[in-house]
Amino acid sequence: MGRNTRQRTAIRRAFEHAGRPLRPRECLELARGEVPDLGIATVYRNVNALVDAGWLRVVELPGTPDRYETAGRNHHHHFHCRRCDGVYEVETCPGGFAAMAPTGYRVEDHDLILYGVCRSCVG
């Protein structure tokens, strides 16, 4: 998928190092540690390219713009911190949601989001 620029490397590293879903703006700030004059347009361009390439996955949460996380991991959910607005991975999933829908509905998938205060904000 094209050239290996310093920028793309820094963007990839930002996601790998963060270990949680990032918004383009968050990714920009993290990646600027490596490439100080990185532009937001480049982040959008690369994030889209990395999604197309299957390296990133879109994380949609209620009431906020899209976040992105590295792809290829197991089924999981997310915790959304009300204090810092950060999103973290939650590895467990109770499952068994298909039975919840009214009869006649075909359940194909589900999303589960926990809200509260993350460890660093609880302090």
Rounded to the nearest whole angstrom, what is the least distance from the CB of residue 24 to its own copies in the complex?
16
Report what 39 binds from its own copies, DNA, none; CB cut-off 5-8 Å by kind: DNA
Identify the H or E element spanning 13: helix 6-18
Rounded to the nearest whole angstrom, what is the least distance from the CB of residue 3 to its own copies in the complex?
31
In three-state form (DSSP H/G/I as H, E/B as E, the rest C), the secondary structure along 22-53 is ECHHHHHHHHCCCCCCCCHHHHHHHHHHHHHC
Decide: helix, strand or coil at residue 105.
Answer: coil
Report what 24 binds from its own copies, DNA, none; CB cut-off 5-8 Å by kind: DNA
Q: Name the residues that contact its own copies, by CB under 8 A.
A: 60-63, 66, 77, 79, 82, 88, 90, 92-94, 96-97, 100-119, 122
